[in-house]
Structure 1
Amino acid sequence: MNTAKLIGALLIIASISVGYIGMNKIADNTKEVNFLGLKINASNESGKQQGYLYVGAAILLFAGGLYALKSKSNA
């Protein structure tokens, strides 16, 4: 196994873990309470934004991993 394929596999594994962290951040910072027929939104917008940044980074890492796996190296 050459180095590019190893780096690609590591990037894909890292993207899965970063995406998992991001999805948990989004879910943890989205809260809604239904009290006597009123919906009260108690979301943390900055926490949700940070979660979306993690998900975006995971997409970039995944794309980089796929590119590294498919690249043809002459090594």
Structure 2
Amino acid sequence: MKIGKIIGAVLILGAIYIGYLGINKVSNSSAEVEVLGLEIDASNDSGKERGFLYIGLAIVLFGGGIYSLNKK
């Protein structure tokens, strides 16, 4: 197995992990609480931004991994 294929596989695995972290950050950065019939929405905008950055990085790494695997 060539080193390019190994690097491609590592990039894809890293992209999956970082994408998972990003999705968790986005989903955990907001919460809703209902108090006496009123809904209170607490949102962490910096956490959402960081989560979207992780997702973007995961997409770039995944593309690089696919390119490395398909390169001849």
With normalisation by structure 2, the TM-score equals 0.92
CA offsets, 1:31-66, max 9 Å, x none?
A: 112233322110100111100000010000000000
Which residue in the other structure is 2:67 paired with?
67
Taking only aligned residues, the RMSD between alpha carbons, in angstroms, comes to 0.9
Unpaired runs of 5+ residues, structure 1, are none
Higher strand fraction (1 or 2): 2
Which residue in the other structure is 2:16 paired with?
16
CA–CA distance in structure 2, aligned partners of residues 21 and 68 of structure 1: 23
CA–CA distance in structure 2, aligned partners of residues 5 and 61 of structure 1: 14
The number of equivalent residue pairs is 72
Where in structure 1 do 4 or more consecutive aligned residues deviate above 6 Å?
Answer: none
User: What amino acid is aligned across from residue 39 of structure 1 in structure 2?
Assistant: E
Unpaired runs of 5+ residues, structure 2, are none
Which residue in the other structure is 2:39 paired with?
39
Post-superposition shift, 1:5? 0.6
User: What amino acid is aligned across from residue 9 of structure 1 in structure 2?
Assistant: A
CA–CA distance in structure 2, aligned partners of residues 34 and 61 of structure 1: 40
Q: Tell me whether 24-33 or 12-21 shows the greater mean CA deviation.
A: 24-33
User: What amino acid is aligned across from residue 54 of structure 1 in structure 2?
Assistant: Y
User: What amino acid is aligned across from residue 21 of structure 1 in structure 2?
Assistant: L
